[in-house]
Structure 1
């Protein structure tokens, strides 16, 4: 989940590297560092903490002569987040520097061997072990490419690495397996990074690297080859359509609030070209090769994407009448699941690089199943590994806590439901037609609603910011939203929160209810509202305070009503979701938390 960047070109490298790291800091912020060639040899400068700590150190150095180098921002895996464990690491000879995202699973065995040969280590990391293995083979082979091939063919696990050699300045080598790495192709300069925003101010031309590929860049050229045998690989250069402005705050205090307010546009972008203007139908040309509707579906995802998948399950089963099972990817990959050949796997991932979800895809494909990837990032690993891809069109999401990405996933799942419901003939034509009409007007409705939602969230946040715990309750489609609301609150405010199916509350959690333990209920106008209302009476009987997200005119007496506009069927979800996000945001902001970069978290979880 670390961020890596490499640069070879005509500009001063260190400012390019640092600015790239700033755009990657959402991937990790325990420590940061850069490596480059100084007048007196290889220079590595690193610091514990956020990038501002590295800035302070760099301000005391002359760093403007170097025109190539590597940089890293870390999310700790092996070894605590301190300066010795920060990247780049330097090999024991002082010749090589390397940055790494991922986990080397057999590093202890290799470290024992290197220790026996007299190699000394300065950190607790698996990265330093791999680097010294490369260094050993470089001494034996005399050239970097065969040394890299030997070392990488020996290690097990996941990695995206970039290596800088002080004896060969102006060149960076990199490789990947199960960790993201993309090449940026410029004019008189080339880039390597974990994610496109790192180099987007300089070029929109990118090459997506696959697992098992190694790349060599200098200022004027790049070559891709296979790690296994160094055979050349032909690659296509793609052009990214979005620009760097999409990854800036645009006057907002945090990326998170900006991205919450972008949700009307996200819905509009996800619908663009997918709703026929002349006919009441959904058009998903991405699925033209998939005949009819699947007989059954297995959804595999993690975190917020798992909650989106759970929401999709309710809708797909009710409207398309397709049996659906939703799996947490980190569990699915280690089970021995019985998968029917007629099952379609839907893998949901915002980044398209989630390690557990990718492992689930590979497991499914080993059993001969087709995979539909639902993701946001064009050319990501999930997109490349899947047989079919539906892009959610959310644009870059920078804040670690996902908001607009989930909105886009729900929109895409609703489109899939309408598409397959029509294919199966199980969906009532009136529901189909009304939902399509509602979808067309949904972005405008949400745009008008968001300011009032934020005002109410602001008020409630001040009322409940001193709570130690929260219980989130929902039923049916709103049970996954209860899970997501609780996740958002604990992610960014660090207040303990649990999401529960409201009917399950009396099977244990009701024991926690007291005047200091508030509940947040999603009690919108649907068939299950009377049941939710009954559950809330049980909370009130035990003196528990309640915030209820509900609709005007509903008979509901609670401590704090939060009325939102009505919308038909599942479209109400798109008004409830930002309310939950805004409440978590306002609580965290009021408490002075680091909203965009909450502690211990990273944006793209590319390790187990």
Structure 2
């Protein structure tokens, strides 16, 4: 790096493979958490809550849980639960409320968990990187031991917590193939992180872009929102995220030369999503495709980042998409001479 910017963020993005491996090992030590909480059939619905990046990963966690475990789950901002709970949850059901917070200190998640304390039909638990946090003291939490960060922006914390909860969903599913997929992700991540660093640096420096659009579907929708937030936090560029096919229904009017359209490509909807990407290319967008595998069908794109692991589920593979999205935010910040370690107006823990 040519300047002193990013001295916290860069090593944290780069260390996420170790954070995933530690989370995988820790989950084995907390196996009983799964059977008592998200694997417990006594709950009618699992509600994952968080704020900002934690809410976006909660969306991916809920989507994964529904797909893999086959039982109801939803994701809401923490504030919706303590201020508008009746709009998020109907009476008479047995809910498990799962707080998601890197610090375990966010006011909104604490208020949400406190708001259901003693309320019939509600049980609480959580996931965090800080075992001594307020949330971990008030609700039993999964702990990502190497997810702790000094930078304001969430990177390895988000990757490791998302992975850890997905691995917990695999345990809850009882499906050996999903447990094996978690192991494959851990094995693949270090090479993906290294390749993502080189790719993102070259891509950012090789293109002049003034607005950024991230598209994803299924469990990738939450990841597209997170990618959008990452580059907004780090570099202050204008960016938006949409469901991939939804982007065609009005929002595509903003596409013009200088617009990046980044598609987080699933295998489930590959052909449909690539049609959207090709359409945006025709409108003048610079198209980046993040995918399990390159092919003739992706050759039109201006950039294709290949993660591998095409033989595993879209949900499990999603964590492998995060490094390149994080590095794109990082290198865009450096290109704009902005320090990604200390975003303006932001603090690591949001309190009200």
> TM-score, normalising length from structure 2?
0.90
Instruction: Specify the alignment match of 1:487 in structure 2.
Output: 229
Q: Tell me the CA shift for residue 436 of structure 1.
A: 2.2
> Residue 223 of structure 2: SS of its match in structure 1?
helix
Is 1:401 the counterpart of 2:153? The answer is yes
Given the alignment, which residue of 258, 270, 273 partners 1:532?
Answer: 273
| Partner Cα distance (2:348, 2:248) in 1 | 35
Evaluate the alpha carbon distance shift between residue 489 and residue 378 of structure 1 in structure 2; reply closer, same or farther with a 3 A threshold.
same
Conservation of the 8 A alpha-carbon contact between 1:314 and 1:476: yes
8 Å CA contact retained: 1:260, 1:403: yes
Change in CA separation of 1:366 and 1:523 when aligned onto 2, cut-off 3 Å: same
What is aligned with 1:330?
Answer: 79
Match in the other structure for 2:347: 602
1:262 aligns with 2:15: yes
Does structure 2 conserve the Cα–Cα contact (< 8 Å) formed by 1:483 and 1:500? yes
Shift of 1:497: 0.6
1:453 corresponds, among 196, 200, 209, to 196
User: Which structure exhibits the higher relative contact order, with contacts defined as CA atoms closer than 8 Å and separated by 6 or more residues?
Assistant: 2
CA contact 2:102–2:148 (8 Å) conserved in 1: no
Deviations 1:243-265 (A, max 9, x none): xxxxxxxx995211111111111
Give the distance between the partners of 1:573 and 1:288, measured in 2 at CA. 24
Contact 1:295–1:323, Cα closer than 8 Å, also in 2: yes
Q: Which residue of 2 aligns with 1:106?
A: none
**Aligned-partner SS, 1:300:** strand
Which of residues 373, 381, 401 is equivalent to 2:134?
A: 381
* Aligned match of 2:113: 361
C-alpha separation in 2, matches of 1:547 and 1:511: 18
Matches within 5 A, 1:8-27: none
Q: What residue in structure 2 maps to residue 292 of structure 1? A: 40
Q: Give the CA deviation at 1:590.
A: 2.1
Length, aligned pairs only: 339
1:289 Cα deviation after fit: 4.5
For residue 475 of structure 1, what is the aligned residue in structure 2?
217
Instruction: Look up the SS of the partner of 1:390 in the other structure.
Output: strand
**Per-residue CA distance 1:314-345 (angstroms, 9 max, x = gap):** 11111111211211112332114235441110
More strand by share: 1
Give the CA deviation at 1:586. Answer: 1.0
Change (3 A) 1:288 1:541: closer
> Judging changes above 3 Å, is the alpha-carbon distance between structure 1 residues 301 and 495 closer, same or farther for their aligned structure 2 residues?
same
Q: How does 1:392-431 map to 2 (within 5 A)?
A: 392-422=144-174
Match of 1:547 in 2: 288
Give, in whole Å, the separation in 2 of the partners of 1:560 and 1:441.
25
In the alignment, which of 544, 566, 570 is matched to residue 309 of structure 2? 566
> Match for residue 324 of structure 2?
579
Measure, in 2, the Cα distance between the counterparts of 1:382 and 1:370: 14
1:419 Cα deviation from its structure 2 partner: 2.5
Matches for 1:43-192 after TM superposition, within 5 Å: none
Supply the distance in 2 between the matched residues of 1:460 and 1:381 (Cα, whole angstroms).
41
CA distance in 2, matches of 1:321, 1:457: 36
**Alpha-carbon distance change, 552 to 517 in structure 1, aligned in 2, over 3 angstroms:** closer
Task: Tell me how far apart the structure 2 counterparts of residues 498 and 410 of structure 1 sit (CA, whole Å).
Answer: 21
The whole-number CA distance in structure 1 between the counterparts of 2:309 and 2:168 is 23
RMSD over aligned Cα, in angstroms?
2.1
Shift of 1:270: 0.8
- Which residue is equivalent to 1:508? 250
**Do 1:333 and 1:359's aligned partners in 2 also have CA atoms closer than 8 Å?**
yes
Superimposed CA distance per residue, residues 334-360 of structure 1 (whole angstroms, 9 cap, x where no aligned partner): 114235441110110010000011111
Displacement of 1:512: 0.5
* Shift in alpha-carbon separation, 1:287–1:485, aligned structure 2, 3 A: closer
Pick closer, same or farther for the CA change 1:588–1:323 going to 2, 3 Å.
same
Which stretches in structure 1 are left out of the alignment for 5+ residues?
1-250, 277-282, 423-431
Q: Deviation at 1:538?
A: 2.6
**Residues 467 and 495 of structure 1 are in contact (CA less than 8 Å); yes or no, is this contact kept in structure 2?**
no
Task: Tell me if structure 2 keeps the 8 A contact 1:474–1:522.
Answer: yes
Q: Secondary structure at the match of 1:269?
A: helix
Residues 48 and 76 in structure 2, CA contact (< 8 A), matched pair in contact too: yes
Which digits, 9 at most, give the CA deviation of each residue in 1:118-158, with x for residues without a partner?
xxxxxxxxxxxxxxxxxxxxxxxxxxxxxxxxxxxxxxxxx
What is aligned with 2:103? 351
Residues of 2 paired with 1:543 and 1:268: CA distance?
A: 41
Instruction: Work out which of the residue numbers 55, 72, 76 in structure 2 matches 1:306.
Output: 55
Name the CA distance, whole Å, in 2 between partners of 1:339 and 1:266: 39
Q: Give runs of aligned pairs for residues 239-254 of structure 1, distance below 5 A.
A: 254=7
- Whether the 8 Å CA contact 1:348–1:373 is kept in 2: the answer is yes
Q: Residue in 2 aligned with 1:589?
A: 334
Offset at residue 418 of structure 1 (A)? 1.6
Higher-helix-fraction structure: 2
Query: Match of 1:446, SS?
Result: helix
What residue number does 2:185 align with?
442
C-alpha distance after superposition, 1:442-492 (max 9, x if no partner): 33321122222111100111134x422111111112111111111001101
